[in-house]
Structure 1
Amino acid sequence: MADFDFDATLRWARFDPQRTLARRDDAELPFLSEGPEAGSEVLLDTCVYIDSLQGRAPEALLGLLDIRKANHSTVAIQELMHTVGVLDPRHPQTKTVIRQIGVVLQAMRPHRIFTPDADVLGRAALLSGMLCRLQGYEKDARLRALQDCSLFLQSIKLGLTVVTGNVKDFDYLLQLIPSGRVLFYRKRG
């Protein structure tokens, strides 16, 4: 892989605290303020799309998306399409949900969709492996950790701020790599 440097990635991973991380108090974390503020462009975590579709996105999030440029990751596209794949085709709501996800995906402007490169994916795999070991993640949480790490490192490489309602996991990522930028929100209901 031309874009992946194994030795550099191992040197980069010296931030391993070799201990379980504790979730910090909300007051110590960067949450969206009630009134939207101008700032850097954002990269949306998959939960932003889901919470918006389900009517659980807080007003502060909707206001932020009105004033900041929103970017999308193929990581989120992958997670949304996974959701389409696991839906039971016999369930009466499946067609509606698939249609809604399709509308969201088709609304993404192609010049605002970014794909993680080999460097990001390699580092994300290492970071998620460390996170899984430190926090004792099992099965489903391991795949979620890989996707979260890919999105987080992609945002750093692109100079973007991740917007997410996933406070716990992204708090851990910020503890490991404080140079990352994240804005948290709490969903309604």
Structure 2
Amino acid sequence: MSDFDFDAALRWARFDPYRTLARRQDEELPFVSDRADSGQDILLDTCVYIDGLQGRAPEVVADLLDIRISNHSTVAIQELMHTVGVLDPKHPGTKGAVRQIGVTIMDMKPHRIFAPDPDVLGRAALLSGMLCRLQGYEKDARLRALQDCVLFLQAQKLGFTVLTANVSDFDYLLQLIPTGRALFYRATQ
């Protein structure tokens, strides 16, 4: 017998609004303030690692990571490793980027790394399919939507808040599942 309940997932998906979602104003969304504060454990979206490595994460994000318990998803590890595979081995910056990604992954404490279970994966696939249909996502955005949905539902199940700079996609997810939690920041240029 499977760990995934298909019928329960279909009942769960009754929140489908059958209409395109509009991005809300920043003032309506949970953004990190100018000063980091304590709160729930956070689950890091892949953009947090990338922004940190590229020096685009605002200082308040580093402060937040110092104050709160940070958790990692195998989804982020997968996306970071995909980046390693995509990088051109002949490019002069590739070796350094791969080294930085390796250090980032190796610095993750094993007891703070979580893998999504079959229930999260099944519901995330259903949710991302709905999101792709509602928002008219094309092929490139569909895989990203699936990964975002897995991370969002994984955080919800574990009682964590997703820390992300991906405001538009996670705003849509919060509209569809208001009981989920995300905390946004703006990457610096």
TM-score where L is the length of structure 1: 0.99
Q: CA deviation at 1:52?
A: 0.1
Identity value in percent = 76
Q: CA deviation at 1:2?
A: 2.4
Q: 2:65 is matched with which residue?
A: 65
Amino acid aligned to 1:77:
I
Query: CA RMSD for the aligned pairs?
Result: 0.6
Distance in 2 of aligned mates of 1:106 and 1:140: 29
Deviations 1:73-127 (A, max 9, x none): 0000000000000000000100000000000000000000000000000000000
Report matched runs for 1:35-184 at 5 Å.
Answer: 35-184=35-184
Q: CA deviation at 1:60?
A: 1.2
Amino acid aligned to 1:24:
R
Distance in 1 of aligned mates of 2:39 and 2:22: 29
What secondary structure sits across from 2:89 in the alignment? coil
What secondary structure sits across from 1:57 in the alignment? coil
Distance in 2 of aligned mates of 1:60 and 1:23: 24
Deviations 1:122-147 (A, max 9, x none): 00000000000000001110000000
What secondary structure sits across from 2:71 in the alignment? strand
Distance in 2 of aligned mates of 1:2 and 1:134: 29
Q: Once superposed, which parts of structure 1, at least 4 consecutive aligned residues long, lie more than 2 Å away? A: none
Amino acid aligned to 1:182:
A
Gaps (5+ residues) in structure 1? none
- May I ask how many residue pairs the two structures share in their alignment? 189
TM-score where L is the length of structure 2: 0.99
Gaps (5+ residues) in structure 2? none
